[in-house]
């Protein structure tokens, strides 16, 4: 089976009602990133950080996967599909995709502040001050904050270098190290970028830019690839 590796960003979840990060009216508009999405913010004001992610999580429960998520699940009938996502939502999983690597963490999980290997599912939408891991320490959102290491990038690089086809969807390719993954895909491999604001990427060959929303562009591409 040929291997398709898919790199997704906030744009694939936009049509599910989840705001992207950098569009006007986006997720960060009312918040300075350094106040809610850094380790320093966590040290300064745990309540504010917990509340920011509680609201994101609450919203996620009200959202459903869209045509793009479902199209990726359908692609598994013909290909070995590996998704690498920058998104912290679970819409790929709920859309039926079976292999999803989260680069920036997962909204519905919490993590111990003394042992990064202790990761838990959050029941419901709230993580509160006083919620502790089995070692008695405060739980934090299982999110990779700005300035923190991205442990799954090593696996993502390996997966990207082994792709037979590479598809990038709905990411501004602004945030590293995720943005550099395209550089590890061999030159001769066919690559697609689906994003209404997409454009050629410097140094990347064999890239077809599809300037469409994911909900339209992706089902069309999947149809073409599964003919």
Q: How far is the CB of 86 from ligand APR (least distance, A)?
A: 3
Q: How far is the CB of 179 from ligand APR (least distance, A)?
A: 8
Gap between the Cα atoms of 80 and 163, Å rounded? 10
108-167 positions binding ligand APR, by CB under 6 A: none
Contact status, residue 169 vs residue 9, Cβ threshold 8 Å: yes
How remote is the C-alpha of 82 from its chain's centroid? 13
Residue 209 found at the interface with ligand APR (CB under 6 A): no
Gap between the Cα atoms of 169 and 67, Å rounded? 13
Return the residue of 3, 22, 78, 162 that touches ligand APR, per CB under 6 A: 22
Number of residues binding to ligand APR, judged by CB under 6 A: 23
Q: How far is the CB of 26 from ligand APR (least distance, A)?
A: 6
How remote is the C-alpha of 5 from its chain's centroid? 14
Residue 65 found at the interface with ligand APR (CB under 6 A): no
Residue 104 found at the interface with ligand APR (CB under 6 A): yes
DSSP assignment letter at 132: B
* Piece of the chain touching ligand APR by CB under 6 A; list 9-17, 113-121, 156-164, 181-189: 9-17
Gap between the Cα atoms of 222 and 227, Å rounded? 9
For residue 36, the SS3 value is: helix
Gap between the Cα atoms of 164 and 185, Å rounded? 9
Instruction: State yes or no: is 69 an active-site residue.
Output: no
Enumerate the active-site residues.
104
Residues binding ligand APR (CB under 6 A): 9-11, 14-15, 20-23, 26, 86, 104, 170-172, 174-175, 194-197, 213-214
């Amino acid at each position: 089976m040929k291997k398709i590796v898919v790199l997704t960003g906030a744009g694939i979840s936009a049509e599910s009602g989840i705001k992207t990060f950098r569009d006007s009216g986006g997720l960060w508009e009312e918040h300075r990133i350094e106040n809610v999405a850094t380790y320093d913010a966590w040290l300064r004001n745990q309540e504010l950080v917990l509340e920011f992610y509680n609201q994101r999580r609450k919203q996620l429960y009200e959202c459903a996967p869209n045509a793009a998520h479902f199209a990726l699940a359908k692609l598994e009938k013909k290909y070995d599909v590996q998704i690498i996502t920058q998104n912290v939502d679970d819409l790929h999983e709920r859309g039926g995709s079976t292999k999803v690597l989260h680069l920036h963490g997962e909204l519905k999980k919490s993590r111990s502040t003394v042992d990064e290997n202790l990761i838990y599912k959050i029941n419901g939408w709230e993580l509160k001050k006083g919620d502790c891991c089995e070692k008695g320490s405060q739980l934090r959102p299982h999110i990779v904050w700005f300035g923190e290491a991205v442990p799954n990038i090593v696996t993502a690089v390996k997966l990207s270098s082994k792709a037979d086809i590479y598809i990038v969807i709905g990411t501004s390719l602004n945030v590293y190290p995720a943005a550099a993954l395209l550089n590890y895909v061999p030159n001769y491999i066919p690559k697609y970028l689906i994003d209404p604001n997409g454009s050629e990427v410097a140094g990347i060959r064999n890239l077809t830019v599809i300037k469409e929303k994911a909900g339209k562009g992706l089902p069309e591409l999947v149809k073409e690839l599964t003919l």
